[in-house]
Amino acid sequence: MRRRWRGPALWLLGLFAAVALAHGAQRARPLAEGVYLVQGSLGEADARNRGALGNSGFIATPAGTVVIGTGGSYRLGRELLALAEHTTGRPVIAAVITQARPEFLMGAAAFTDRGIEVIAHAETARLIAQRCHVCLQRLRRALGDDAMAGTRLAAPTRRLAGSESLAPGGRRIELLHLGPGQTEGDLVVVDAATGIAFAGALVTHARIPELDTVGLAAPWRRALAALGAMPLRTLVPGYGAPGEPGALIAATEGYLARLESEVQARLDAGSGLRAALDEVVLSEWRGWAQYVPLHRRNVQQQFLASEAMWAAGR
pLDDT for res 7: 46
> Hey, which residues does 38 pair with through a beta bridge?
56
Give the β-pairing of 117-121 and 158-160.
Answer: parallel
Q: Give the Å distances, CA to CA, from 154 to 84, 113, 132, 247.
A: 20, 9, 10, 35
Q: Give the Å distances, CA to CA, from 34 to 54, 61, 87, 138, 191.
A: 21, 7, 10, 35, 10
Distance CA 212, CA 142 (A): 21
Proportion of the chain above pLDDT 90, given as a percent: 87
CATH value of 7-242 in 2.160.10.10, 3.40.1400.10, 3.60.15.10, 3.40.50.300: 3.60.15.10
Alpha carbons within 13 angstroms on the beta-carbon side of residue 177 total 21
Q: pLDDT for 212-247, tens place per residue?
A: 866 689 999 999 999 999 999 999 999 999 999 999
Across 223-235, b (16+ Cβ under 10 Å) vs e yields bbeebbebebebb
Given a contact cutoff of 8 angstroms between Cβ atoms, the answer to whether 282 and 200 are in contact is no
pLDDT for res 314: 62
Contacts of 141 (CB under 8 A, 6+ apart): none
The confidence band for 312, taking pLDDT boundaries of 50, 70 and 90, is confident
> Hey, which residues does 37 pair with through a beta bridge?
29, 57
Q: pLDDT for 31-85, tens place per residue?
A: 999 999 999 999 999 988 998 999 999 999 999 999 999 999 999 999 999 999 9
pLDDT for res 109: 98
Identify which has the larger pLDDT, 6 or 68.
68
Q: Where along the chain do its domains lie? A: 7-242
